[in-house]
Amino acid sequence: MRGLIVVFGALLLASPAWAQSDEGGSAIELARQHMERGQALYLQARFEEAAAEFDAAYDAQPFSAFLYNAGVALERAGQPARAASYFERYLSTDPSSADADAVRARIAELRAAAAASEAAAQAPPEGEGTPPEGEATAEGPAQPEGAQPEVAQPEAAQPGAAPPETAPPETAQPPESLEDFKSLLSVRTNPAGATIRVMDGDREVASGPTPFAQTLDEGRYHVIVEHPDFQTVEQDVRIDPGKVYVVIVEMSQGQFLGYLRVQSNVAGAQVFLDDREQGPRGQTPFETPIPIGTHQIWVERPGYQMEQSEVEVGIGEDLTVRLDLTRVDFGRLRVVANIEGARVIVDDLQVGVVPFEGQVSAGPHRVRVESDGMKAFEQQVTIRNGQLTPMRVRLRPGVDRGSAWVTTVFTALFIGGGVTLALIGNDFMSGLRAEQDAGRLTSDDPRIDQGLFLYIGADVAFGLSVILGGLALYYFVHDPLPPSEGSVREARDWAFAPMVDPVNGGASLGFVGRF
């Protein structure tokens, strides 16, 4: 199987400077998408569908490579006439291509195959030869001896009818490799107006102004970029089969650039390149032109474990790196309240004072907020991995229990007084009964009334202590003020960091999350 130019370089650039020099960026991107679909279909042996995608790619962006691809796909589909037409269009679009002679020979072979296929389709079926001499046929009377039999003439083809094609072999297998395929080198410069020269040793293979594109065979080449306002930039290039190399050259830096894309399962993660101290270059999904060579990449976001990777960006390479993040095994708790300095207690351990924000292990916790003279608030809170859990608390004043303590003291005093009077009264009345038994006590003795007064005083003291005790209990239990209240809001991600604009320069603050 002979050459196929396969395009799978990324042609859409994100930098504004490059976008200005590539007004057809959207068309190129559309062509790239069709090309990638066509390539996938081709590798699945769905050749006609692949040819349709290549044709759509050419409609979006007229690169001759797309026509060449369509011709190869149709040839594999067993349609030599259509394949030859696409190869002819390829030559008319790129008449100076290095493989022009080989393509012309290929067209001749395809045309011959199409003619043979058409002739085979018009031949009579096998076994229906000329009848024996002198015998009649179903088509007419017997021919006289020595007469030449009439040869049936094929019916004229209808105008506009497509010639019959050769069906592809039923056992056709999908292509396994791209070893014999051709590649495309595309060079863009910033600023535009540079001249590109591609050298194979001492031989100049191709040259032209930017934007530059050239079909190349597998091998090593030396690319020279010259601009009247900048120093000449040179770079050795290794061309592998079956690829398109979109080379970006930043003339002011004298560098060949590749293209780097960083993806992650977490959108908005910060991306650092080569030097973390310079700050993040952007957020995922992230893409940028980047000098070829080895680069360090860090991707991080608060609440997730940092991921790091070392990558090698080749010349003209569109490299996609995916770094997925996993959440840490802790979260953060933020507590705000109406009383500054209120104590924050997590699982019976004071962790700080209001306003509080700190790290707490993931899982359920008992959180208590308290302050002197205020009613405490307590609630069960579940801390989620790598997320911030906000908690808002409103503490209410506690009830003054002074009255309860005063009444409690008086209750105790009256109980003590009652017990004392009762004991004194018992002793006093015991003495009177002893005198009565001895016959020395008369019924009108005034001491009898004194003993009764002692008993009455004790009863009054006990009664007052019961009343005051009940009042003290009421003062201790009764609470006319509302309780403290609070709420735990939904856990969420958080991020807050400066970012450096890799294209326009300058810094800005990025903030993700609501608190």
Q: Residue 222 and residue 55: Cα distance in Å, rounded?
A: 32
387, 391, 390, 392: which is closest to 495 by C-alpha?
387
User: Of 127, 149, 181, which marks where a domain is finished?
Assistant: 181
CATH number, domain containing residue 370: 2.60.40.1120
* Residue 73 pLDDT level (bands cut at 50, 70, 90): confident
Q: What sign does the CA torsion over 70, 73, 77, 83 have?
A: positive
Q: Residue 113 and residue 80: Cα distance in Å, rounded?
A: 7
Show the domain range for 98. Answer: 1-119+163-181
Question: Both tokens of residue 306?
Answer: 């940092």
Highest mean pLDDT among 7-16, 119-128, 425-434: 425-434
- The predicted structure's pLDDT at residue 151: 41
Are 13 and 111 part of one and the same domain? yes
Highest mean pLDDT among 128-137, 229-238, 384-393: 384-393
Q: Residue 295 and residue 272: Cα distance in Å, rounded?
A: 10
* Residue 80 pLDDT level (bands cut at 50, 70, 90): very high
Are 19 and 111 part of one and the same domain? yes
Question: Both tokens of residue 414?
Answer: 């009256």
Highest mean pLDDT among 172-181, 421-430, 482-491: 482-491
* Residue 388 pLDDT level (bands cut at 50, 70, 90): very high
Q: Is the pLDDT of residue 258 over 90?
A: no
87 within domain boundaries: yes
4 within domain boundaries: yes
515 within domain boundaries: no
- Give the E-state strand segments of 180-243 in sequence order: 183-190, 195-200, 203-209, 212-216, 219-227, 230-239
Are 177 and 42 part of one and the same domain? yes
Question: Both tokens of residue 43?
Answer: 């590798």
User: Of 181, 214, 230, which marks where a domain is finished?
Assistant: 181
- The predicted structure's pLDDT at residue 363: 93
214 within domain boundaries: no
Mean pLDDT across the stretch 423-434?
A: 80
Are 378 and 414 part of one and the same domain? no
Place of tokens 């085979």: 120
* Residue 380 pLDDT level (bands cut at 50, 70, 90): very high
Q: Residue 512 and residue 494: Cα distance in Å, rounded?
A: 6
67, 69, 80: which is closest to 40 by C-alpha?
69
* Residue 336 pLDDT level (bands cut at 50, 70, 90): very high
State phi, psi for 264 to the nearest 5 degrees. -155, 160
Are 353 and 413 part of one and the same domain? no
- 437 has which bridge partners? none
97 within domain boundaries: yes
Mean pLDDT across the stretch 216-226?
A: 87
Q: Residue 66 and residue 57: Cα distance in Å, rounded?
A: 6
Strand 388-394, strand 330-337: pairing = parallel
Reported as half-sphere exposure (CB side, CA atoms, 13 A), residue 454 has a value of: 17
Are 408 and 363 part of one and the same domain? no
Strand 307-313, strand 270-273: pairing = unpaired
267 secondary structure, DSSP code: T
- 511 has which bridge partners? 496
Question: Both tokens of residue 270?
Answer: 């910060």
377, 335, 342: which is closest to 356 by C-alpha?
335
Q: Tell me if the bond preceding 280 is cis, omega within 30° of 0.
A: no
Are 104 and 177 part of one and the same domain? yes
Q: Residue 107 and residue 89: Cα distance in Å, rounded?
A: 11
CATH number, domain containing residue 52: 1.25.40.10
Q: Distance from first CA to last CA of the chain, Å, rounded?
A: 63
268 within domain boundaries: no
Place of tokens 């040259």: 207
Place of tokens 């590539």: 22
Mean pLDDT, rounded, of the chain: 78
Q: Residue 176 in 3-state DSSP? A: coil
Are 342 and 458 part of one and the same domain? no
CA angle 458–462–465, rounded 5-degree value: 140
Pick the residue with more confidence: 14 or 238? 238
CA angle 256–257–262, rounded 5-degree value: 165
Query: Could you tell me the pTM of the whole model?
Result: 0.50
User: Of 348, 366, 394, which marks where a domain is finished?
Assistant: 394
What would the pLDDT profile of 150-168 be if each residue is shown by its tens digit?
Answer: 444 444 444 444 444 555 5
Q: Residue 347 and residue 121: Cα distance in Å, rounded?
A: 90
Contact 346, 360 (CB under 8 A): yes
461 within domain boundaries: yes
Are 350 and 455 part of one and the same domain? no
Q: How many domains does the chain have?
A: 3
- The predicted structure's pLDDT at residue 21: 42
375 Cβ neighbours under 8 A, 6+ residues apart: 395, 396, 397, 398, 481, 483, 484
Are 43 and 169 part of one and the same domain? yes
Are 389 and 428 part of one and the same domain? no
Place of tokens 């009940």: 470
For the chain, the C-alpha Rg in angstroms (whole number) is: 49
Contact 431, 408 (CB under 8 A): no
Are 345 and 459 part of one and the same domain? no
